[in-house]
Amino acid sequence: MSVIRALYTSIALLIPFGVHAQTFPNKPVQIIVPYAPGGSTDLAARVLAAKLTEQWGQQVVVENRPGGNGFIGMSAGAKSKPDGYALTLGTVGDVAVNPALFPNTPFSMERDFTPISMVSDAELVLIAGKNTPYASVQDVLNAAKAQPGRLSVATSGMGTMPHILLEWMSLVSGAQFQHVPYKGGGPAAAAVAGDNLPLGILAASGVASFVKSGHVKVIAIMSPERSKNNPSWPTLIESGVKDVGGSGWSALFAPRGTPPEVVAKISADVGKALKADDVIARFSGAGMEAVPTTPTELATRIKKDRESFAAIIKSANVKPE
Amino acid sequence: METLSLLLYGLQIALSWENLLYCFAGCLLGTLVGVLPGIGPVTTVAILLPFTFGLGPAPALIMLAGIYYGAQYGGSTTAILVNIPGESSSVVTTIDGYQMARQGRAGPALGIAAIGSFVAGSFAVFVVAYFSPPLAEIALRFGPADYFSLMVMGLAASVILASGSLIKAIAMVLVGILLGSIGTDVNTGAIRFAAGLPQLTDGIGFIVLAMAFFGITDVLVNLEKSKEQHVANAEIKNVLPTMEDLRVSAPSIARGTLIGSILGILPGGGALLASFAAYMVEKKVARRPANFGSGDIRGVAAPESANNAGAQVSFIPMLTLGLPSNPTMALMIGALMIQGITPGPGVITERPELFWGLIASMWIGNLMLLVLNLPLVGLWVKLLSVPYSLLFPAILAFCCVGVYASSNEPADVYIVAVLAAVGYALIKFDCEPAPMVLGFVLGPMMEENLRRAMMISFGDPSVFVTRPISALCLAATLLGLIAIAIPSLRRRRDAAMQE
């Protein structure tokens, strides 16, 4: 009896695998966001979810699980059923910085997640207040070298991409800065605009209005290449700070063990959604670029970023304590 | 004159059928989610966000703003009826509002809250219209040292709030600060006092704290009392405020409105500080026989006016600096950005239809809320005549649902249970929860800004006295402390409390 039952069970388990990709999705799909509503990751998730709902004819729902440096949401995503109905939108901070920053994260990218596609990418910039004498990366570095550790730089928080880039810039250039973390990019941008401190590394979208109003000036873009939208901003690399470059990206993941056909289908459909004109327009409004990739491309990017960030975090001795 | 014509222009936009409809939808939804626990304004706005993609920026923002201030109205309703403040800024309302409800005066309390909010909202509209650019510039100049000193002043003043022992009030503020320090430290990223629980790494949520220390604790305290007392409590005297109520409250509404309009400019603790400050001022200036703490209508009128004025004025930092005062406003910024509008100093001149349309719609929305809420008062009051044996399980269930739904986190419900036990013990020791809430909300902000100010000044503490705003706040605090410390003045304080 038990043998027959086992046989039945295995057949029952096998059948859906074949038809999964054709029928997926046949019920609502959830996207877990490890951040509170309102941030750029949440916005990206909501824009993508609305488009996928349209494409699939099934509700795609965003579920915010904020807290604990993204650990709560990432853990929830890792523990979800691997059937493609519970996806997780993690950021570069969640998947490439935190594993290097925290000695024991409650999830493991290799053990728990399968990459699907990159989703959004946001440019970061180095800004200075309008009353500061700095006009170029060299000015900033010279000032910092003249008074080591006496030049304050605002970032959106401890262990965020801007923080990592600040440490990286310090390591490569030898200039030392005072890192002043804020609770998010908005307050940090206002602090630089209000002359509370001279410098900031922040999302380009968050400082755009202060740049326009003349409260702050952009010194450099933190990406490895110049921006398509603002080609006049120099990169750090061309200003002589070798190799330093990065941006704030987010990507979609499924729990490890999700059938490969389903992952491939989601990746293809997400790619299609991210190429839609209205999605591109909404992303760009929020200061992001839609950047679909294949699962393999995403895996490579994670590996590359993680290795370089781990080295920076180790050399700069960044510790959450 | 120019501002007036721009306001009229805004009125034209807000009075279009489409915008009126979205304004009404927002106010209605906001009132509903404010009253019903289980789904708060943040969740509502998040769910409706994709729906706003297809709308223009003005109707989208008008509707979302309606949800925001509508929920504030709704939050006061639960604070008065069942002692559950929906937001930190309605904590003060529970002090006298809930006492009024227990004396059968829930109707006047709700009525005066609605009227006060309307008056405050109408005044705040003009503040936003006339003073947005200069006020934004002031908010921008507010540095970490200034924030720190303002928080110090707020906390020092909060002991006046307590009607009982001074020592206990100070102790409760300190307990609040300690509870607030649970979670991730912004400056270093270190996780403090989380007891290894990942659910505590972001600290205790305000909703969790409010449900535990107000809602559930109060149910426990009530259950101890005999049945007769509840019956007496439910006796309804009148449904709407009397002329006498209005006359007594009018100056309080005016003062609350003014305080809210000033403090609302500060992103973060603005509306909360405003409601506390308004209450303290009322206690100080009351000349007529006062019974604050046991159901004085002025103790509802002033903070309710202050928090509504504060909530509206907080649109200034949001629209002109991109600084949200709370998660709902953060979502509104998101909604604007998706429409291709980045809040910032240029938004008033670049998108006049949005800015003036929103301002005018806020006034219309406040009117709608008044019309919507006054008839509802009778309904809410009837709710209180439901036997307590039926009411309390419902309150408990709503508390649990509300806590769970605000974070999707089952552990929060357990944290509420633990905190409610603590809250019950504190009530038994005659320790009031209101000063603790102030410590809980302001303490972490105070620490964050103290350390940030010291980082920026490279360890030089003189910034706190060389910056004018900071120096002024610290001087006021010092004067207040001296007043408390000198015994003769202290007797006067006690006498003031006895009134």
| String of DSSP letters for B36-74 | STTS-HHHHHHHHHHHHTTS-HHHHHHHHHHHHHHHHHH
Q: Chain B: give the shortest CA distance to residue A194, in Å.
A: 5
The DSSP letter of residue B88 is G
CB-CB under 8 Å, A194 with B143: yes
CB-CB under 8 Å, B141 with A215: no
pLDDT (tens digit per residue) in B101-149: 888 888 999 999 999 999 999 999 999 999 888 888 888 888 999 999 9
Q: Chain B: give the shortest CA distance to residue A6, in Å.
A: 35
Supply the pLDDT for residue B184: 84
CB-CB under 8 Å, A196 with B143: yes
Supply the pLDDT for residue A272: 97
Q: Check: CB of residue B236 under 8 Å from CB of residue B108.
A: no
Mean pLDDT across chain B, nearest whole number? 86
Q: Check: CB of residue A41 under 8 Å from CB of residue A283.
A: no
Q: Which helix (H) or strand (E) holds A253?
A: strand A248-255
- The rounded distance, in Å, linking the Cα atoms of B37 and B400 is 9
Choice between A268 and B431, residue whose per-residue pLDDT is larger: A268
Mutate to test the interface with A, among B338, B349, B351, B404 (most CBs of A within 10 A): B338
Supply the pLDDT for residue B498: 53
Q: Chain B: give the shortest CA distance to residue A196, in Å.
A: 6
CB-CB under 8 Å, A209 with B322: yes
Supply the pLDDT for residue B231: 44
Classified by CATH at the fold level, domain A133-221 comes out as D-Maltodextrin-Binding Protein; domain 2 (3.40.190)
* B413: pLDDT strictly greater than 70: yes
Torsion of CA A188, A193, A196, A200, to 10 degrees: 50
CB burial readout A187-220, b (16+ within 10 A) else e: bbbbbbbbbbbbbbbbbbbbbbbbbebebbbbbb
Q: Chain B: give the shortest CA distance to residue A114, in Å.
A: 23
What architecture is the A28-122+247-316 domain classified under in CATH? 3-Layer(aba) Sandwich (3.40)
Torsion of CA A34, A37, A38, A39, to 10 degrees: 0
CB-CB under 8 Å, B407 with A66: yes
* B496: pLDDT strictly greater than 70: no
Choice between B378 and A175, residue whose per-residue pLDDT is larger: A175
* B221: pLDDT strictly greater than 80: yes
Structural domain count of chain B: 1
Supply the pLDDT for residue B239: 73
CB-CB under 8 Å, B140 with A190: yes
Q: B408: which chain A residues are within 8 Å (Cβ-Cβ)?
A: 63-65
CA separation, residue B96 to residues A155, B282, B302 (Å): 43, 12, 11
Per-block average pLDDT, block size 10, for chain A (321 residues)? 53 50 89 88 93 95 84 91 96 93 87 96 96 96 95 92 95 95 89 95 91 94 92 94 94 96 96 96 91 96 94 89 66
Q: Which helix (H) or strand (E) holds A76?
A: helix A71-79
Supply the pLDDT for residue B247: 92
Q: Check: CB of residue A79 under 8 Å from CB of residue A32.
A: no
Q: A190: which chain B residues are within 8 Å (Cβ-Cβ)?
A: 139-140, 321-323
Domain that holds residue B349: 2-498
Q: Chain A: give the shortest CA distance to residue B180, in Å.
A: 15
Instruction: Number of A to B CB contacts under 8 A, please give it.
Output: 163
Per-residue pLDDT, averaged over B238-265, amounts to 90
Per-residue pLDDT, averaged over B221-240, amounts to 66
- The rounded distance, in Å, linking the Cα atoms of B205 and B179 is 10
pLDDT (tens digit per residue) in B437-488: 889 988 998 999 999 999 999 999 999 999 999 999 999 888 877 876 675 5
* B432: pLDDT strictly greater than 90: no
| Nearest of A8, A89, A4 to residue A42 by alpha carbon | A89
* B499: pLDDT strictly greater than 50: no
Pick from A40-49, A262-271, B251-260, B380-389: least confident: B380-389
Q: A40: which chain B residues are within 8 Å (Cβ-Cβ)?
A: 334
Q: Which residues on neighbouring strands pair with residue A250, listed in sequence order?
A: A91, A120
Domain positions in chain A: 28-122+247-316, 133-221
Among chain B residues, the shortest Cα distance to A63 is held by B408
Q: B201: which chain A residues are within 8 Å (Cβ-Cβ)?
A: 67-69, 71-72
pLDDT (tens digit per residue) in B154-192: 888 777 655 667 888 889 999 999 999 998 888 887 888
Closest Cβ opposite residue A43 in set B190, B202, B334:
B334
Supply the pLDDT for residue B327: 82
pLDDT grade for B490, boundaries at 50, 70 and 90: low
Mutate to test the interface with B, among A40, A55, A72, A207 (most CBs of B within 10 A): A72
- The rounded distance, in Å, linking the Cα atoms of A210 and B443 is 30
Mind giving me the DSSP string for A13-48?
HHHHHHHHHHH--SS-EEEEESS-TTSHHHHHHHHH
Per-residue pLDDT, averaged over B373-380, amounts to 85
Per-residue pLDDT, averaged over B408-435, amounts to 90
Among chain A residues, the shortest Cα distance to B444 is held by A183
Closest Cβ opposite residue B188 in set A183, A205, A320:
A320
Per-residue pLDDT, averaged over B43-71, amounts to 90
Q: Chain B: give the shortest CA distance to residue A48, in Å.
A: 10
pLDDT grade for B492, boundaries at 50, 70 and 90: low
CB-CB under 8 Å, B49 with A68: no
Supply the pLDDT for residue A16: 47
CB-CB under 8 Å, A321 with B190: yes
Supply the pLDDT for residue B86: 79
Same fold: A28-122+247-316 with A133-221 = yes
Question: Phi and psi (nearest 5°) for B340?
Answer: 85, 15
Choice between B284 and A222, residue whose per-residue pLDDT is larger: A222
* B301: pLDDT strictly greater than 50: yes
CB-CB under 8 Å, A206 with B343: no
Closest Cβ opposite residue A285 in set B339, B409, B448:
B339
Among chain B residues, the shortest Cα distance to A286 is held by B337
Q: A157: which chain B residues are within 8 Å (Cβ-Cβ)?
A: 186, 189
Supply the pLDDT for residue B402: 84
Number of helical H runs and strand E runs in chain B: 25, 2
